[in-house]
Amino acid sequence: MNKIDLAIVGGGAAGMAAALYAARSNLNVVLFEGQSPGGQITLTNEVENYPGLGVENPISGPEIAMLFLNHAEKFGSKTEYTFVDSIEGTAGKFILKTSNGSWLSKAIILAPGSKAKEIGVPGERELMGLGVSTCATCDGAFFRDQEVVVIGGGNSAIEEGLFLTRFAKKVTIVHRRQEFRATPVILERAKKNKKIEWKLDCVVEKINGKNKVENVEIKNIKNNQTETFETNGVFIFIGHNPNTNFIKNTVNLDDQGYIDVNNKQETSIKGIWSAGDCSDHHYKQLITSAGDGVKAALNAIHWLEENS
Ligand SMILES: Cc1cc2nc3c(=O)[nH]c(=O)nc-3n(C[C@H](O)[C@H](O)[C@H](O)COP(=O)(O)OP(=O)(O)OC[C@H]3O[C@@H](n4cnc5c(N)ncnc54)[C@H](O)[C@@H]3O)c2cc1C
């Protein structure tokens, strides 16, 4: 069996930042990535809010992903392109099983990220990052003085809709019911905002556009009438699913599947840390994920020094 000091599960911003710090501390590090390196950020074609990047020339998510990966590999981090299927064992002797074999690792950082829930309509995946977004903080500023559509009726949809009014000239919230899951105080604030319009009892059935969003097809589910609604931005806020199914019997998860961590990124199991969107309900940014990854790596490095 392959023996290593530190296994990092997930090659998004959190995992790659952790890999850089751990490899630069001379640990024998393997980063496991089941798809392509970079995670969610590879879904967007422009990132404007990572300090120091994209200042003079625009930079895309995939370009940032390759910068992160090359930086970690420069210091000796190895990348295994395979999903980790399960984790067994105890601190100092964890076994990670994959379809490419098993690894024995002294410590683990979990960084499998999360996925925004999809509404499942034509155009949604094709136009993701080209006008379709799941993050107002990330993409709101691209829609200055434009008209955008927000889909959802929970707190995040209404809060993100309010945030978008800082940039957009009009925000239309499309929600399939009359009732909202959002808390009354947030809803009230949104109802008072003159830039927000409402399409209730409505669903988006299709997102149209060639290389960017041009319009959406909206159906009223009470009277079955459909309309084509001109917009350049479609923000979908119907929740996230953390990619934690494979470790549900390994570490403690909360009721929504996020990994429980303390402020040192420690999980419920000694020798396992967690970083990034898989353990973050709120911030879900490239830099906060990378920051979590660094905290997890520094604590793992220290723990390995004390326990090897
Ligand atoms: C369309 C879009 C645009 C965005 N724009 C911005 C932006 O402009 N600025 C910004 O700061 N943030 C942006 N974000 C948010 C940012 O991408 C995320 O916060 C960040 O990618 C989270 O990093 P992460 O490492 O925690 O997880 P992820 O990026 O989700 O990466 C997790 C990785 O783990 C892998 N993985 C999962 N399970 C396993 C397993 N069992 N074994 C091996 N590998 C596994 C996945 O394949 C994935 O590559 C955007 C997100 C989206 C979706």
pLDDT 10s digits, 96-136: 999 999 999 999 999 999 999 999 999 999 999 999 999 99
Atom of ligand 1 nearest to the CA of 276: 26
Check if the interface score ipTM surpasses 0.95. Answer: yes
Domains (range + CATH), the chain: 2-115+240-307 (3.50.50.60), 118-236 (3.50.50.60)
Most ligand 1 atoms within 8 A of CB, residue of 16, 33, 36, 41 to mutate: 41
Ligand 1 atom nearest 14 alpha carbon: 25
Q: Which residues of 84-117 are buried (b: 16+ CB within 10 A; e: fewer)?
A: beebeeeeeebebebeeeebebbbbbbbbbbebe
Residue 78, pLDDT score: 98
Phi, psi of 47 (to 5 degrees): -120, 125
- Of the residues 139, 277, 280, 292, only one is catalytic, namely 139
Segment 186-198, tens digit of pLDDT: 999 999 999 999 9
- pLDDT value of residue 44: 86
Atom of ligand 1 nearest to the CA of 275: 26
Q: How far apart are CA 104 and CA 174, in angstroms?
A: 49
Q: Which residues of 52-70 are buried (b: 16+ CB within 10 A; e: fewer)?
A: eebeeeebbbbbbbeebbe
Share of the chain above pLDDT 70, in %: 100
12 C-beta closer than 6 A to ligand 1 = yes
- Pocket probe for ligand 1: among 35, 83, 138, the residue whose CB has the most ligand atoms within 8 Å is 138
Q: How confident is the model at residue 29 (pLDDT cuts 50, 70, 90)?
A: very high
Residue 135 annotated to the active site: yes
